[in-house]
Amino acid sequence: MKKEVKTNLIHSLPILYLLLTIIFISGCATVEKKPPPVPAPKVEVPKEEVPVVKPKEEVPVAAPPKPAPPIPNTRVFPDFIALIAQEGDTLSSLADKYLKDASMDWFIADFNDISTLSPGEALIIPLKPYERGGLSAKGYQIVPVLSYHQFSKTVKNKMTVTEADFEEQMKFLKDDGYRVITLDQLFDFLDFKIQIPKKSVVITIDDGWRSVYDIAYPILKKYGYPATLFIYTDLITGGEKTLSWDLIDEMVKSGLIDLQCHSKTHRNLTILDKKETFPQYFESILENELKGCRSIVKRRLNRDVKYFAYPYGDTNHLVVGLLRKLGYRGAFTVKRWGNPFFIHNYRVNRSMIYGDYDLSQFRKNLDVFNRE
């Protein structure tokens, strides 16, 4: 039996080998597959930044100092203008620009105490009167009024001034800085309305002689000086030595000559004539001398008269009262002195210029300030 089993095992060996081989092969073919490896998590590697190359810092250099802002040439204030004069500026051009009147150059000159102007000069231009009445801490202004009568080419006497002397006197006024003003300007000053140049002067000529037209008028035109002609109308006959109404009209129309009254007959208004009663005197003064002169001028030249020059310079309370009543603004004597703003409007002073005056005597009549 044992032999049979042995024989069976021997006969079965090839089969066992075959089975083992199959098992081995299939075992190799069915080797358990390893799971795929888990990928490692991605680690973001930061990109390498390209370094920004900064420009090389410059060493700071000290900047040059900034120029100071320019100083304005003009500053405007309520009552005045402050400025620095520029090339080409003159007192007249500045007066024209800021005061709208080139003839007001004196207004700037007097305030700044100058007579000329240079570029770069600091200046104040007042916009309002600053010395009404010519008053100051040192005293007050006075205005001389000059009185002439006749003129001649060569003849010289007390009441007659030669052409050469009149020319010299007018030239002196210009060269010495005097300003010739009108009667209206004088009375505006006396009435405390306006300020006038510190060196103001008024020119008057009495009566109505032909030499006014032939000699004085051309010289006045040469210097541009205004003057007042006080006529007594009975003298205006157009004779060889007297003025005519046509000549007077020509001078008045020039704008330089102002025509006013010196009475009708040139009688002394303060003295009664012989055999004249007071009512007759009163009537003569009122109707003939004061009203008559003015009405004749109005009829002849259509001009209104408002100023009066007393014949011989004499007046009294009656004459002054009549002038006021008739509406005259003022009247003139021949008392030698200048006129402060407080002078009586119907007793205004005038200085007669005689023909035998030299220039030094003429100058004595030109005081413009009274120190107190």
pLDDT tens digits, one per residue of 128-182: 888 888 988 889 999 999 999 999 999 989 999 999 999 999 999 999 999 999 9
Q: What is the pLDDT of residues 14-33, one digit of tens each?
A: 554 454 444 444 444 444 44
Q: DSSP per residue over 214-250, as a string? A: IIIHHHHHHHT--EEEEE-GGG-S--SSB--HHHHHH
Q: Among 47-51, 240-244, 252-256, which stretch is predicted with the lowest mean pLDDT?
A: 47-51
Mean pLDDT of 228-257: 97
* 27 within some domain: no
- Per cent of the chain over pLDDT 70 is 81
Task: State yes or no: pLDDT of 59 exceeds 80.
Answer: no
Distance CA 139, CA 129 (A): 17
User: Sorting pLDDT into bands at 50, 70 and 90, what band is 283?
Assistant: very high
- Per cent of the chain over pLDDT 90 is 73
pLDDT at 361: 97
Task: State yes or no: pLDDT of 34 exceeds 80.
Answer: no
Residue 62, CA atoms < 13 Å, CB-side half-sphere:
2
Choice between 51 and 192, residue whose per-residue pLDDT is larger: 192
Residue 178, CA atoms < 13 Å, CB-side half-sphere:
28
CB 334 within 8 A of CB 142: no
Distance CA 348, CA 350 (A): 7
**What distances in angstroms separate CA 4 from CA 15, 17, 356, one per listed residue?**
17, 20, 202
Q: Do 83 and 116 belong to one domain?
A: yes
Q: Do 216 and 121 belong to one domain?
A: no
Q: Do 168 and 271 belong to one domain?
A: yes
pLDDT at 73: 87
Please give the residue range of the domain that contains residue 195. 133-371
Nearest to residue 327, comparing CAs of 291, 372, 363? 291
Enter the DSSP assignment of 348. B
- List the CATH number of the domain containing 307: 3.20.20.370
Task: State yes or no: pLDDT of 74 exceeds 60.
Answer: yes
* 20 within some domain: no
Q: What is the pLDDT of residues 189-209, one digit of tens each?
A: 999 999 999 999 999 999 999
Mean pLDDT of 279-296: 95
Q: Specify the pairing of strand 200-207 against strand 145-148.
A: parallel
pLDDT at 70: 62
pLDDT at 22: 45
Q: Do 302 and 337 belong to one domain?
A: yes
Distance CA 257, CA 262 (A): 15
Q: What is the pLDDT of residues 311-335, one digit of tens each?
A: 999 999 999 999 999 999 999 999 9
Q: Do 112 and 166 belong to one domain?
A: no
* 31 within some domain: no
pLDDT at 10: 43
Task: State yes or no: pLDDT of 46 exceeds 70.
Answer: no
Q: What is the pLDDT of residues 98-125, one digit of tens each?
A: 999 998 999 999 999 998 899 999 999 9
pLDDT at 27: 46
Distance CA 13, CA 300 (A): 183
Distance CA 210, CA 216 (A): 10
Distance CA 262, CA 148 (A): 13
Distance CA 148, CA 217 (A): 12
Q: Do 206 and 263 belong to one domain?
A: yes
Task: State yes or no: pLDDT of 9 exceeds 60.
Answer: no
Task: State yes or no: pLDDT of 5 exceeds 70.
Answer: no
Q: How many domains does the chain have?
A: 2
CB 329 within 8 A of CB 187: yes
Q: Do 292 and 354 belong to one domain?
A: yes
330 DSSP β-pair partners: 307
Angle 243-248-253 from CA coordinates, rounded to 5°: 165
Of the three residues 126, 148, 165, the one that is the final residue of a domain is 126
Q: What is the mean pLDDT of the chain?
A: 87
Can you say how many angstroms the Cα of residue 48 is from the centroid of all Cα atoms in its chain? 80
pLDDT at 372: 78
User: Sorting pLDDT into bands at 50, 70 and 90, what band is 95?
Assistant: very high
